[in-house]
Chain A
Amino acid sequence: MTAQTPSSLPPNPEPCLNVEITSDLVAQHGLLPEEYENVLKILGREPNLTELGIFSVMWSEHCAYKNTRKLLRLFPTEKVDKDSVGQVLVKAGDENAGVIDIGEGWGVAFKIESHNHPSAIEPFEGAATGVGGIVRDIFTMGARPILLTNSLRFGSLESSQVKRLFRGVVSGISHYGNCLGIPNMGGDVYFDDCYEGNPLVNALCAGILRHEEIQKGAATGVGNPVYYVGPGTGRDGLGGASFASRELTEESAEDRPAVQKGDPFMEKLLLEACLEMMAIPGLVVGIQDMGAAGLTCSTCETASRGNSGIEIDLDLVPQRETGMNSYEIMLSESQERMLVIVNRGRERELEEVFEKWDLHAARIGEVKEGDRMVVRHKGVVVADLPAKSLTDEAPVYDQPAQEPVHIAAARDWRVDSVSDLKSDGVGEALGKLLAHPTIASKRWVWQQYDHMVMSGCTVEPGSDAGVVRLSIAGIDKYLAIANDCNNRFCYLDPYKGAQIAFAECMRNLACSGARALAVTDNLNFANPNKPEAYHMLKECVKGLADACSFFDVPVVGGNVSLYNEHGQGAIDPTPVVSMVGLIDDASQVTRSFVAQAGETVLLLGGLPYELGGSYYLQTQFGKKEGRVPEVDLSAEKKVQDFLLAQISNNSVLAAHDVSEGGLLVALAEMLFGEADLGLSVAFDSRGPSGRLDSLFFGESQGRVLISVSAEKEASILLAAQESGLVAQALGSTDDSGRFKISVEGDEVFDTTVRSLRESWSQAIPNYMQ
């Protein structure tokens, strides 16, 4: 604040922007004093208010990853095995989304992104614009979007406020995605008190493209025109800087939405127009979505990537409100806009495409020599900054970390602190678990999503992974998608919790017959300035990075959402792991439901024995405690390799992983397909724990249930033995419509599948009536 370098810029044409940059103003822009010192050093003078706004958004956590950039370097971003399918074509962080090779010249672009805070304030628009943002990231890469999923987290459905958020978020996603005509394959939804007041809304999009169609977000070629395409800019989405716009315009800000408003119809037009434009050979030089930090981010990022300067004139920017000043135009987060750089002399080709789609295409500037980002408004230079300073010189922090005390307590937890379940309590315990909204059927959610548009839906939501046929590319391959993250495990042991999220996600893909290709992750955490929260973040990233390296499954992009806190406290660490996998032909596509009487159900991986952190502890005792189940990545790999080998032999009729709720829940879920079947299961022992609760409801990792024809049972068990894998037959399906369990020869449980299905399928509809 001491530097008194006189401004080299003329006064802003809007008098209200010519204010003194005080330390309060700097603080209100979220910049620390030392960060502001750095701004002064970079500029060699004081910034004006527009420039301060630009620095504040570009150096925000959202754009600059100041608190996580170092940690994110732990993730492997390429495959070690260079001969396998799934090589990384565009690495994490290099462009709007990563791209992986799926063979035969095709690639898949995919990424997940959060819209947590907007959704907490305005669930419908927050979730809708979350979908819009991630879809733009994908088609900016030149890819045709082919699927959506979401990872959602809410508080308890007992709360009417949570119901309102849940309904609003689902309906916002449904509204936006359905209109775009991109199939939404569901995703995962968890309910836990820790998300009360701070729901998580993470949206994923995947798209398909030819290798040669990959677009870059770089402004290159001095003299090339810079176009603004899409609807006009308004004052929406100025929430982060709303204080300033209030003071600056001396108008009431009450009628300005803090959350952006989405228009899926505009996005659909933009999507089709951009893909049509990008299909014209040699026309587009660079393209970038105007997402967070809108025009600011897109201009300085494209210039920075292109090692160029860029100059834009705000008078040429289409506007849908009057009297907007340079600060507002540069910081607006109006939706469905793009910045496009085309080769000089070919402007008409771009303009014709956008005329066809009735969209604005305004030439707002051009690529310049040097490295400056220059912004003009009303004939005056209102910002003049080195573009790279905004993207590459953002501060990076390494925060102090400290293990929270509850983690040590979890390590000391003993299972004999709870008494074992008696036989006559099994039915009730199972019913409670099936009716827990996290475990219960999510049909209420995904029947509101158009999952069948584009004719590719092959395995509908509700199975272990969603599967789409790549019909639109004209190829007979299938893409599988799964998301996972059990926050309970991450809370109790962040390192292992993140590894479990990874392992379960990959296992879900394997259960659908897919080989995992790559990860996109969404790191949802609390305030990183608190040592306990930073510890959680650090350990989760380490755990996830180690699992990625072990399996040689790289991270090709993702998102970080910090400061997820609310009145009652912080959210549990929630590193959502999403993976895409490839299935080479239709015969390998596998579902999680048994289909006929006479199938034998086998358990791979051995009887479960660990109760710590389980949903059983939650539904029976209201406890989030215990030791997180053992994570053995080698054992996990053995199970998945075996499963995929058996699927490729066409030996597996159905496969389902054992996860939240444990073995009995997983067995029951296999019965909830279209067929009305029964299942009798006999355990000859209680397993390593000697306890019913741990056998039935423990969430030991690396377990998969498969159903096979009776004649293949013996050969599969033998094959398992030969590969050193514990496997056993548990029972077989029949026409009885009953689920029966016996242990050591004694019947412990016998009920109708219909009653279990009722608990499972009606739980969420009952809350939402």
Chain B
Amino acid sequence: MSTASSTASIAQIAPIDRASSPIPFRRLVRTELRKLTDTRAGRWLLATLLAATPIVAVVMVFSMATKDLNYAKFVDFTSTPEKILLPILGILTMTSEWSQRTGLVTFVLEPKRGRVLLAKVVAALALGVGLSAVMLVTSVVGNVLGMAVRGGKGSWGFAGQVSGEVTVVLISWLLLGIALGMALLVTAAAILVAFVVPNMFSAFFGSGSKSTTAWFDLNQAQSPLYSHDITGKGWIQLVVASALWIGVPMALGVMRVRRAEVK
């Protein structure tokens, strides 16, 4: 540290345009996006998310029975690592402000905490949608490769429906992570709840009739999205279960963050 050279007067530094307009929302979103990518942990998580789908696709191309090589299967398998990792992305977006105590800076620069939360949600969703797109493109490439290299069946059946449904699943797990991150503010606790509780729930109510448990069991409510036979009632059940698992913790989280003392 050069202490001697550090006494330059403030006046010597180039004057800044003293704009007094509020921070535009898109600038908050850009800042939050950058925060997701400018730490080692964040970069590793994104690198893993990006690398996972090609790895899964390559493994499928070379090892799966040729009759099973079709677009829907590629989407099914390549989305699995995303489904595990996206909630973590959502959780870290929220909890790092508290675990690393950067909230002390963030909420001083933008005291309207609701805006910061919304910017975080938008930033995480943008990344989530982008990663889903990468996953879908990877599946297209995988299916084409499967046909070319292995002479796979390469069916494109239900391609549009499959793509849309898997995106809904991935985004809802990302939102679940965001919601739990906000509500719990502690990384470990949020990760535990995100992974253990929905599955415990499914285990507890697994013996119940699907048509009943799908109202409040998120896994059960999402299962027709995997089998591509969701009905109108199924969509309503999905909305209800999502409201319970995503909406409620998110509402609690928004209230908590807006009121909490930032230390």
Is B truly associated with A?
no
- Residues of B at the A interface (CB closer than 8 Å) are none
- Residues of A at the B interface (CB closer than 8 Å) are none
